[in-house]
Amino acid sequence: MAGARRGGGRRATGARRVRRVAGSLARGDAASRSQAVDGRIRLLRIFFVVLFLVAGGKAIALASTSDNLTAMALRQQMRTVDLPAHRGAIVDRRGQDLAVGQPMQTVFATPYMLKDPAAATTQLAHALRLKGPATWALQKTLARHSSGFAYVARKVSPALATKALALELPGVGSFPEEKRVYPMDTLAMQALGLAGTDNQGLAGLELQYDKQLSGRGGSEVVVRDPAGRDLKTLKAVQPVPGSDVRLTIDEDIQYAAEHVLQKTVRTFHAKGATAVVMDPRTGEIYALASVPLVDAKTYGKSGYATRERAITDAYEPGSIFKAVTISGALSEGLVKPSTRFSLPPSITVGGRTIHEAESRGATSMTVSEILAYSSNVGAVKIGMLLGQQRLLKWVSAFGFGRPTGIDFPGEIGGLVPQQWSASTIGNVPMGQGIAVTPLQVAAAYSAIANGGVWMRPHLTAQVGTHVVQPAGQRRVISPKVAKEMMAMLTEVVEKEGATGNSAQIPGYVVAGKTGTAQKALPNGGGYSDYNFFASFVGIVPAQHPQLVVLVAVDQPHPYWGGTVAAPAVRDIAEFALQHLNIAP
């Protein structure tokens, strides 16, 4: 029993221990559960705090970029458009258009707004009639999807631009531009020069007066819809149009000169020809022609054809230069028109033998006859009488060796030898060993025709409202010497058997001088036996000169100035006399 009680007591005690342990475990589980709940609550709190911070940061970021997005949207909707100024026209002395601006449209695109650049290329090419390389270039341009601006077609007709805009492609629009056109095609193109795609002067008178012709461009700020259509103009600065330039050139005389030169080149199988027609009293140039002719499409493809060679190219003048030698001798009082010289068949100077153009025996000639029959030996004798220093003085007085100062870019001054060899005094008096431009020759003969007063040649009569007045005049020879020279130059044309008989014009007295010069070989290799410059300068009417006409023909066959150039001068002068109503 006692054992049973003891056993029962032990069981009771064990049960209590179990209950205590179970209670303790229960309390532990409850605490653990409580701690777990608290941990989850803390995690949720942290999560919500982080979520709040992220959301707040995003809101702040969105708020901070909204201004940028707004600015980007405005930039996409607003665009500054340049407004090109109207380029002034170039007109002839009577107001006939020679170079004008033709209204056109330039089509552009915003490539990033085009969803299908390839399809847009096909549609635009069809509407604008683009073919081959132009289409391929457009496809490549529109494929640059990040680009905000690209030219589709520059300066197309408004009708074609309207067709392109009718496609309603997003970002495709147009703006007005001018295309420089030359209504008279090839007429005076070497003198006019060329204006480029952006209407800037590239050459000739377009370059010379680019600033005056260009005016001042403007601009406007416009708002556009997503399709690129203008909605509103916010700001505009209007362009200032350029000034018109009126030339001294006469369209009809210019055309006649070019026509005669073309005929001369064909007839004598020449490489080219130039002509100058000017008023000796004012220096105004009525025509400045060069053949072969060029137009706006062929301009620049041949340097020889593109150059205004009367101004930019020099040649050895030959006998046409003898008037300078004789004028100098008369002015120095060394000779008179009637002074007679004994002339052998040839003359040797500094080891070089100089012959006449046509063989003859020994003879004698007056100064007037030396000029009329273009005696080389006679010119050399007169030149030797003058001597180097005095001859150089008169060469310079007539304007050779430096530019005339004409209002045209690229003028050269020719070449006058300063270091003379023993034979130079035998070359220069008859127009060899010296390089001149046709314009210099025309200006020198104009001085003789104008009573001895040299006038600076000019091509411009008026720029905008400013009328150009003759400038740069100077006396070269005395009125007496000029009168004597005019009488002798008249004999060159009027005297039977003289070299200029082919320049005679019925009803008018013509003065003038022929020139036939061998072309120098390259690199100082002497002279060609086959290639020559043939030239003639005429003054009409001889009693009261109003026109000086010079023609120089490059490499004609045959090559005599009296045969090739004198008839060309006659034809040009005859037309100009009638056109200007200059009475016989």
User: Residue range 110-137: average pLDDT?
Assistant: 91
Tens-place pLDDT, residues 194-241: 999 889 999 999 999 999 999 888 877 877 666 556 667 777 788 899
Binning pLDDT at 50, 70 and 90, where does residue 2 land? Answer: very low
CATH code, domain carrying 90: 3.90.1310.10
Do residue 270 and residue 163 come from a single domain?
Answer: no
Q: How far is CA 331 from CA 83, 337, 453, 473, 498, in A?
A: 61, 11, 14, 19, 24
Q: Is residue 72 part of a domain?
A: no
Model pTM?
0.82
Do residue 348 and residue 369 come from a single domain?
Answer: yes
Do residue 179 and residue 120 come from a single domain?
Answer: yes
Q: Is residue 172 part of a domain?
A: yes
Do residue 309 and residue 223 come from a single domain?
Answer: no
Query: Which of 247, 280, 310 delimits the end of a domain?
Result: 247
Do residue 207 and residue 264 come from a single domain?
Answer: no
The residue type of 418 is Q
Query: Is the distance from CB of 309 to CB of 550 less than 8 angstroms?
Result: no
DSSP state string for 240-294: BPPPPEEES--HHHHHHHHHHHHHHHHHTT-SEEEEEEE-TTT-BEEEEEEES--
The residue type of 446 is S
Do residue 297 and residue 423 come from a single domain?
Answer: yes
Tens-place pLDDT, residues 413-461: 999 999 999 999 999 999 999 999 999 999 999 999 999 999 999 999 9
Q: Is residue 1 part of a domain?
A: no
Q: Is residue 57 part of a domain?
A: no
Tens-place pLDDT, residues 479-511: 999 999 999 999 999 999 999 999 999 999 999
Kind of pairing, strands 245-247 and 90-91?
parallel
Do residue 211 and residue 178 come from a single domain?
Answer: yes
Do residue 131 and residue 157 come from a single domain?
Answer: yes
pLDDT, mean over the chain: 88
Do residue 236 and residue 324 come from a single domain?
Answer: no
Do residue 318 and residue 380 come from a single domain?
Answer: yes
Q: What is the pLDDT of residue 4?
A: 44
- By residue range, what is the domain housing residue 263? 251-462+471-579
Tens-place pLDDT, residues 357-413: 888 999 999 999 999 999 999 999 999 999 999 999 999 999 999 999 999 999 999
Q: Is residue 15 part of a domain?
A: no
Q: What domain count does the chain have?
A: 2
Query: Which of 230, 247, 264 delimits the end of a domain?
Result: 247
Do residue 237 and residue 294 come from a single domain?
Answer: no
Question: What's the CA gap between 491 and 507, in Å, rounded?
Answer: 16
